[in-house]
Amino acid sequence: MPLTTTPQGALLDRVRQAARAGRLPDAGDLRALDDAADPAALRLVGRALAALGNRGEDDSAGALRPVRVGLLATSTPGPLEQLFRAVLVAAGMLPDIATGEYGQFEADLATTPERVFDGRDAVCCLLDDSWFLPKGWDGSSVPDLLSYVERRVEDLCDLVRAAADSGSSSLIVLHTVPLSTTVRDAVVSWRDRAGLSRTWYRLNAALLELAESPAVVVVDLVGLLADSAVPAADDRLRRYADIAYTDAALLLLAKEWRRVLQAKSGLSRKVLALDLDNTLWGGVLGEVGPTGVELGGLYPGNCYQELQRTALRLRNQGVILALASKNDEGPVMEALQEHPEVLLRPSTFSAQAVDWSPKAGNLSGMASQLGLATDAFVFMDDSPFECGHVAAELPDVAVVPAAGDPAELVRRLLGRGWFDVLELTDTDRQRPSLYQERGERRRFEAGFASSTAYLHGLEISADIRRVGPYDVQRVAQLAARTNQFNLTGVRFDALETARMAEDPGFLTLACSVADRFGDEGLVGALWVEKREDIWRVLNFVMSCRVLGRGVELAMLGRLAEFAREAGAALVEGEYVRLPRNGMAADLWVQAGFTPSAAEEDGTRLFRLAPENGSELIPQWIRIQERQR
Amino acid sequence: MSRPETVGAMSEAGGTEVIEQELIAILCAVLDADPDEFDSGTRIAGHANWDSMGSLEVMVQIENAFAVRLDLRAYHAVRTVAELATLVRTTSKSG
């Protein structure tokens, strides 16, 4: 894509400027870098970031974890150093990379630690098939070819074992090696070709066996290539510059090595905090109830169950599970306890925050409850709003977006290797239950407002309008489906809503919301009866998706404006407790309405003089003036 | 990552200018240079930061930006920005 015009080019410019000034690129740019799949852009970024390494004393670069890496290669590493640097910086590390000389692979690996290994966290070795193959093989004897390969494997294993035993603290990082089809296809008999492949698999098995040494890590590049469908080699670069792999293949390897360094430098995460609705099961519990969520069985329920199974696997390997859900606690516990397809029962979570508070606050709360820092946390949620909020408030937390096709949930959770460790101990395995015993569920913060700085950045716009003919169906659906933010439980259907919309004795309002994450569509509705100069809210419903952004206050603010313009003296509403609407109990008070004494029939009204309602619309919400 | 805009623009009259602009952006990015160090007639290999790895880097960036695969011999025979633009243009036509 053209560098001159694309966002990729703009990102590159910003990264380059920052690196030149010795500054770290800002957090958003680092995240974008991390997501960038384009190796051509990343190698340019890696070049630019080299400037960062030269200024060790800079403050902002000091926020990165320094890692010292040696890079040895049996071929020309080509852009590997740049790609490696880019992915390491994107993951919060500041690499100092020393590369071996071309053609000196064995010598560098064999010579004393002082040269390449000195003080390095890891020495990463880029291997390629030509190192294991005889240059001048003439085709006459396949057994000769195979025994040559076997000797070379032994040579390499001896070299690596010697280096591993040298007492250096550097980790030696190797990878499995793909065999080029240009070599395999030059053996024309299928039997011999199978023999060559068999020998090659043994070669890779021998490399993988080296990982039994605590000083050696071997990543499975062959497996990665098979899964990623990128070409391993570019014949032109191979012949012209002895570059053994394509950029795409090198990027795969760099990202895998990054995971190793992440684990080696103590950046592994210990806690997985999971959202519930549309993450651990399909659907919104508050809308469909415990029996209505999609879990288990066929697609998509099987996707959510597979994510639960994966979380359980992580837990059994020492990852602490935490629950971060905006829901009422009762139905959540009921579903986790009773639903036959649930794999993550309440006892598998070492910390729980199920309430309507902002998730960022809840994550900090759970972190201090567990005695861990938020940089130990991975947070997975399907809502771009929640993900964005946590990323803004707690930049240390690794955020895994769960939006999109649920079939990809597991891959998204595991793909970055957040929980990778070099070695798993018994203490690790016991960690979740240890924390379980310490932990008790509690509320961390009151109210469900998000921080105003974040909300200002969301560019929320609300279109609050009288219900028109095109809104009626959607408003009725919302009334029928909304159980949680539903003030009185009175469900006006399409017919009643349409009638009220026509009748000057009533006011019906609909609200659509959009923000920089996208258009939420119609999310709220109000039904008001004008009783002389008192306007009575018959019901008020709002989709839980948009809670925490002040949209409900904006709607009440607009209602107050309408009432004031019409000369009404009071706006009043009530709250009727229903099984699932506990979260809306405080709405009227939060909006500044005054509670009256309870009426004879036990209901309690909340009242507001409309002129006092103009301040209700939050400053971060822009009201569209489309229709009055 | 589609790039039809660029490829489409190249077949139009005056496309060479668009190509040259993009090529200069790539050269600047790789060689850490300023755009005013280059015009159509600039001899690329004359740039102080040009070396063999840099030349490969430029090639990879060009192939990525224009969705072409260059013939290495033809690429190495190129001397100026204008010649490079012609190579990109003819390669994308034949490809």
pLDDT value at position A211? Answer: 96
pLDDT value at position A627? Answer: 47
pLDDT at A221 over 80: yes
Note the pLDDT tens digit of each residue in A127-141.
999 999 998 899 999
Nearest-by-Cβ selection for B22 from A4, A40, A241:
A4
pLDDT at A87 over 80: yes
pLDDT at A112 over 80: no
pLDDT at B20 over 50: yes
Number of domains in chain A: 4
Give the H/E segment covering residue A42: helix A39-53
A263's tokens: 């684990």
Q: Same domain, yes or no, for A433 and A313?
A: yes
Sheet holding A171-175, edge to edge: A93-99, A65-73, A122-126, A171-175, A216-219
Phi, psi of A125 (to 5 degrees): -110, 125
pLDDT value at position A624? Answer: 87
Cα–Cα distance for residue pair A615/A592, rounded to 1 Å:
10
Answer yes or no: is A594 within a domain.
yes
Record: contact B57-A3, CB cut-off 8 A: no
Answer yes or no: is A57 within a domain.
yes
Average the pLDDT over B8-27 and give the result. Answer: 75
Domain boundary among A386, A403, A438: A438
Q: Which of A262, A274, A374, A367 is nearest to A314 (CA)?
A: A274
Note the pLDDT tens digit of each residue in A392-414.
999 889 999 999 999 999 999 99
Cα–Cα distance for residue pair A31/B2, rounded to 1 Å:
22
A55's tokens: 């200024």
Note the pLDDT tens digit of each residue in A340-395.
999 999 989 999 999 888 999 999 999 988 888 999 999 999 999 999 999 999 98
Q: Which of A286, A281, A275 is nearest to A297 (CA)?
A: A281
pLDDT value at position A494? Answer: 92
Q: Which of A12-21, A246-255, A487-496, B42-51 has the lowest mean pLDDT?
A: A12-21
Measured CA distances, A550 to A61, A545, B48 (Å): 37, 12, 58
Domain at A610, CATH number = 3.40.630.30
For chain B positions 38-67, those within 8 Å of chain A (CB to CB) are 52-53, 56-57, 60-61, 64-65
Q: Which of A159-168, A184-193, A254-263, B61-70 has the lowest mean pLDDT?
A: A159-168
Record: contact A3-B22, CB cut-off 8 A: yes
Q: For chain B, what are the domain ranges? A: 4-89
Note the pLDDT tens digit of each residue in A145-194.
999 999 999 999 999 999 888 877 889 999 999 999 999 999 999 999 99
Q: Same domain, yes or no, for A122 and A250?
A: yes
pLDDT value at position A116? Answer: 64
Max Cα-Cα span within chain B:
34
Cα–Cα distance for residue pair A561/A464, rounded to 1 Å:
11
Domain at A433, CATH number = 3.40.50.1000
**Site of tokens 């080699």:** A233
**Pairs of CB atoms within 8 A across A/B:** 51
- pLDDT range class, residue B6, cuts 50, 70, 90: very low
A192's tokens: 């011999």
Q: Which residues of A touch chain B, with CB atoms under 8 Å apart?
A: 1-4, 9, 12, 16, 38, 40, 43-44, 47, 78-79, 236-237, 240-241, 243, 247
Q: Same domain, yes or no, for A212 and A340?
A: no
pLDDT value at position A480? Answer: 87
**Site of tokens 């590390």:** A93
Residue A172: partners with Cβ closer than 8 Å, 6 or more residues away: A122, A123, A125, A160, A163, A164, A215, A216, A217
Answer yes or no: is A432 within a domain.
yes
Answer yes or no: is A351 within a domain.
yes
Find the domain containing A616 and state its range.
Answer: 458-623
Give the H/E segment covering residue B5: helix B4-11
ipTM > 0.90 (yes/no) = no
A44's tokens: 């340019």
Nearest-by-Cβ selection for A2 from B30, B60, B65:
B65
Q: Same domain, yes or no, for A258 and A287?
A: no
Average the pLDDT over A274-297 and give the result. Answer: 93
pLDDT at A598 over 80: no
Q: Which of B41, B15, B20 is nearest to B93 (CA)?
A: B15
Q: Same domain, yes or no, for A296 and A256?
A: no
pLDDT value at position A532? Answer: 86
3-state class of A534 per DSSP? strand
Cβ-Cβ contacts under 8 Å, A4 against chain B: 21-22, 25
Q: Which of A403, A423, A420 is nearest to A412 (CA)?
A: A403
Q: Which fold has domain B4-89?
A: 1.10.1200
Q: Same domain, yes or no, for A235 and A164?
A: yes
Note the pLDDT tens digit of each residue in A422-444.
988 887 888 887 777 655 444 45
Q: Same domain, yes or no, for A287 and A185?
A: no
Q: Same domain, yes or no, for A150 and A213?
A: yes
Give the H/E segment covering residue A378: strand A377-381
pLDDT value at position A368? Answer: 87
Q: Same domain, yes or no, for A429 and A467?
A: no
Q: What is the 3-state secondary structure (H, E, C) of A418-473?
A: CCCCCCCCHHHHHHHHHHHHHCCCCCCCCCCCCCHHHHHHCCEEEEEEECCCCCHH
Note the pLDDT tens digit of each residue in A297-349.
999 999 999 999 999 999 999 999 999 999 988 899 999 999 999 999 998 99
Domain boundary among A63, A85, A103: A63
Answer yes or no: is A452 within a domain.
no
Nearest-by-Cβ selection for A40 from B25, B32, B60:
B60
Q: Which of A2-16, A81-95, A514-528, B70-84 has the lowest mean pLDDT?
A: A2-16
Q: Which of A1, A14, A238 to mutate to test the interface with B (most CBs of B within 10 A)?
A: A1
Q: Which amino acid, one-letter code, is at A62?
A: G
Q: Same domain, yes or no, for A209 and A314?
A: no
Cβ-Cβ contacts under 8 Å, A236 against chain B: 72
Record: contact B21-A4, CB cut-off 8 A: yes
Nearest-by-Cβ selection for B26 from A3, A43, A236:
A3
pLDDT value at position A601? Answer: 73
Cβ pair A610, A571 in contact under 8 A:
yes
Top pLDDT among A172 and A5 is at A172
